[in-house]
């Protein structure tokens, strides 16, 4: 063969990474196969050597994104409240609002995941429940863990819709402030 064994894996990884970033910023439905491939310097036709369809790529992107987020937000069996606090601080930051390409996939692609087929949503559910379980163990509260997760995702969705950075920052700081109080009061 004219291409090394690892070449395909590397190309596939580049494609996944680049496509995920494009999907999070422009929406997966709004970017075509040609655009996805051009972004990594390849032609559209080469796409089908890596994925049988655009939908299959979507599933792989979600899988990769969620496992990555889980690692960053709640990996391990026992995390300290200090680490959870650092996670919340970053999640609810202006940097996260402004850089959707490298951020969590839930606020940017949540609606698209909700509209996708059952297989993808089952994967998403597994991951979300795993993150919830980790946070619930740290916080010793199932309901507080769900509430935090919802509020984090919602704050980013709301903030990204706004134009004024000051109001955006207000949404973030308010959410963080109220979350901190809830965690402390618990």
Partner DNA sequence: GTCTATACCACGATAGAC
Partner DNA sequence: GTCTATCGTGGTATAGAC
Where do contacts with DNA occur on this chain (CB under 7 A)?
Answer: 2-3, 7-8, 11, 31-35, 37, 41-50, 52-55
CB 15 to DNA: min, Å: 8
Residue closer to a copy of itself by CB (options 50, 152) is 152
Q: Rounded to the nearest 5 degrees, what angle is found at the Cα of 69, between the Cα atoms of 96 and 128?
A: 115
* Contact stretch for a copy of itself (CB under 8 A) within 1-9, 48-56, 83-91, 124-132: 124-132
CB 48 to DNA: min, Å: 4
Which DSSP category does 92 fall into? T
Return the H-helix or E-strand segment holding 111.
Answer: helix 105-115
Residue closer to a copy of itself by CB (options 93, 173) is 173
Extract the tokens encoding 130. 């795993």
Given 36, 88, 113, 139, the residue binding a copy of itself (CB under 8 A):
113
Residue closer to a copy of itself by CB (options 6, 166) is 166
HSE-CB for 15 with a 13 A CA cutoff = 26
Assess contact for 16 and 60: CB atoms under 8 A. Answer: yes
Assess 46 for contact with a copy of itself (CB under 8 A). Answer: no
Q: 46 contacts which partner out of DNA, a copy of itself, none, CB within 5 to 8 A by kind?
A: DNA
Which residues, numbered 138-177, are part of the site for a copy of itself (CB under 8 A)? Answer: 142-147, 149-155, 157-158, 160-164, 167, 170-171, 173-175, 177
Residue closer to a copy of itself by CB (options 28, 50) is 28
Distance separating alpha carbons of residues 160 and 100, to the nearest angstrom:
9
Provide CB contacts within 8 A for 146, sequence distance 6+: 132
Extract the tokens encoding 7. 């070449």
Distance separating alpha carbons of residues 133 and 125, to the nearest angstrom:
12
């Amino acid at each position: 063969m004219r291409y090394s064994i690892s070449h395909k894996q590397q190309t596939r990884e580049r494609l996944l990474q680049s496509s995920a970033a494009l999907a999070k910023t422009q929406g997966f439905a709004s970017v075509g196969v040609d655009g996805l491939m051009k972004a990594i310097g390849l032609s559209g036709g080469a796409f089908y050597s890596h994925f049988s369809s655009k939908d299959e790529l979507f599933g792989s992107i979600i899988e990769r994104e969620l496992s990555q987020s889980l690692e960053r937000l709640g990996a391990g069996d026992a995390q300290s409240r200090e680490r959870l606090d650092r996670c919340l601080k970053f999640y609810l930051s202006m940097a996260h609002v402004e850089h959707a390409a490298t951020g969590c996939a839930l606020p940017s692609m949540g609606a698209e995941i909700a509209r996708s087929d059952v297989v993808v949503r089952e994967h998403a559910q597994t991951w979300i429940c795993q993150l919830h379980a980790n946070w619930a163990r740290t916080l010793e509260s199932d309901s507080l863990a769900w509430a935090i997760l919802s509020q984090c995702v919602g704050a980013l969705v709301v903030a990204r819709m706004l134009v004024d950075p000051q109001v955006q920052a207000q949404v973030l700081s308010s959410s963080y402030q109220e979350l901190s109080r809830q965690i402390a009061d618990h």
